[in-house]
Structure 1
Amino acid sequence: MGIRERNRLAVERDISEAAMRLFVTQGFDATTTDQIAREAGVSPRSLFRYVGSKEDIVLGDMLAAGESVLGALRERPPAEGPWEALRAALRVLEGNPPDRALALATMFLETPSLRARRLEKRLAWLGLLVPEITRRLGRTPGDVPDPAAHAIVAAALACLDSATEIWARRGGAGDVVAVFDEALDAVRHA
């Protein structure tokens, strides 16, 4: 990685950290992009060279996260069932420290525009993950998604969102993975 790329990543990290501090203390909607730029030590114009919107600061690169899940899914044993493989692959998302994860989850609960943007970005994950789940079901991926594979991926992502929301409503108490497992079990065995 060259110096230019390292500098770009450092500025993006500074912007993200400054924004999160402001979002936690003031709330997402009450924080302006000018405040974020000032807190990060960049001009408002420079801020938008690094991020597209306030929502993008919080959501980060969700496509890259989806690709990480896909990579983990492809590494799962071929004989593993689709639900088990998808559940295990989603574990790559466990990277945020609990306090940051709780702050993010709470922001999604309290900010409808942020929640909608996350859902929009998460829908792209269907296109990434459905073909791999289709293969795990012993079928050939095609131009039109396999309904079973599509339903499995959509349900697993809904369970992930539900678990995160419930965990946030509990103030971060308990284990979010256990809540996710409970949600998956309910969907699979209801």
Structure 2
Amino acid sequence: MRKTRDIARAAVRAQLAQVAFELFRRDGFDRVTINDVAGAAGVSRNTFLRYFETKEDAVLAAFDARGERVAETVRARPPEEEDWTALRRGLDIVAEEYRRDPAGALATALLIRQTPSLHARNLEKQCGWRPLLAGALAERRHSGSVRSGPVRSGELDLLVRAAAALDCLDIAVDHWTAADGRPDIGDLLDAAFAALAPPALTQATAAP
């Protein structure tokens, strides 16, 4: 029964997010209110707020679990693989989402980058990915043992690498968006990572 409720809740959440996104694209994010979205979706304002705390969350809801999926992919990479390569391969999850629905991904990226509050909220969410990715790297460093709590002071380098990887993602997405989604996002990620990788790792990072 609980699983059925969870599925139904996820379906309503997705429908509300889609209605909100279409309104934001048509009328402009700042001009659309929560009441507008609720009315267009045929629900009350309170119902909308049970699913999303803000308008920004309605746009970025699909990103909530992305950091966890990237961290899981990094954690599952071969233990002998260099951290920078593991981070690049972890972001294949994001690249695949862009390839699966390039038109939708481009529309979302444009809306985020043209709306200061959305851009700021998106960066805030990505900052939350840093400890997830650093933790995944730490587990690989310690033979895959499960870790909890903050990264230790001696593992500051892992947070730096995680932050740098996310900066590479942002730059790749910026270039992809500016080019109307024509380049392959994976190629842009490869180029961004190669700019920071030691020469010996440049080829390995780009390899599947």
TM over 0.5: yes
Is contact 1:108–1:114 with CA below 8 Å preserved after alignment? Answer: yes
Using the TM superposition, give the Cα deviation of residue 3 of structure 1 relative to its aligned residue in structure 2, in angstroms. Answer: 3.0
Partner of 1:46: 47
Q: Deviations over 1:111-137 (max 9, x none)?
A: 111111111111111111112223545
Secondary structure, aligned partner of 2:123 = helix
Q: Does 1:188 align with 2:197?
A: yes
Alpha-carbon distance in structure 1 between the residues aligned to 2:156 and 2:197: 16
Greater alpha carbon shift after TM alignment, 25-34 vs 83-92:
25-34
Alpha-carbon distance in structure 2 between the residues aligned to 1:145 and 1:56: 35
2:120 pairs, out of 116, 120, 131, with 116
* AA in 2 matched with 1:26: D
Change (3 A) 1:116 1:145: farther
Partner of 2:132: 128
Change (3 A) 1:186 1:53: same
Using the TM superposition, give the Cα deviation of residue 144 of structure 1 relative to its aligned residue in structure 2, in angstroms. Answer: 2.9
Give the unaligned 5+ runs of structure 2.
200-208
Give aligned pairs, total.
190
Using the TM superposition, give the Cα deviation of residue 27 of structure 1 relative to its aligned residue in structure 2, in angstroms. Answer: 2.2
Q: Does 1:158 align with 2:167?
A: yes
The RMSD of aligned alpha carbons is 2.2
Is contact 1:37–1:47 with CA below 8 Å preserved after alignment? Answer: yes
Greater alpha carbon shift after TM alignment, 23-32 vs 83-92:
23-32
Greater alpha carbon shift after TM alignment, 140-149 vs 105-114:
140-149
Alpha-carbon distance in structure 1 between the residues aligned to 2:113 and 2:26: 16
Q: Does 1:169 align with 2:173?
A: no
- Structure-2-length-normalised TM-score: 0.83
Partner of 2:109: 105
Q: Deviations over 1:55-110 (max 9, x none)?
A: 11111154422111111111111111111111111111232511111011111211
Using the TM superposition, give the Cα deviation of residue 189 of structure 1 relative to its aligned residue in structure 2, in angstroms. Answer: 4.8
Alpha-carbon distance in structure 1 between the residues aligned to 2:130 and 2:154: 9
Secondary structure, aligned partner of 2:31 = coil
Is contact 1:55–1:114 with CA below 8 Å preserved after alignment? Answer: yes
Using the TM superposition, give the Cα deviation of residue 9 of structure 1 relative to its aligned residue in structure 2, in angstroms. Answer: 1.3
* AA in 2 matched with 1:72: T
Give the unaligned 5+ runs of structure 1.
none
Q: Does 1:95 align with 2:104?
A: no
RCO comparison, higher one (Cα < 8 Å, 6+): 2
2:153 pairs, out of 130, 144, 167, with 144
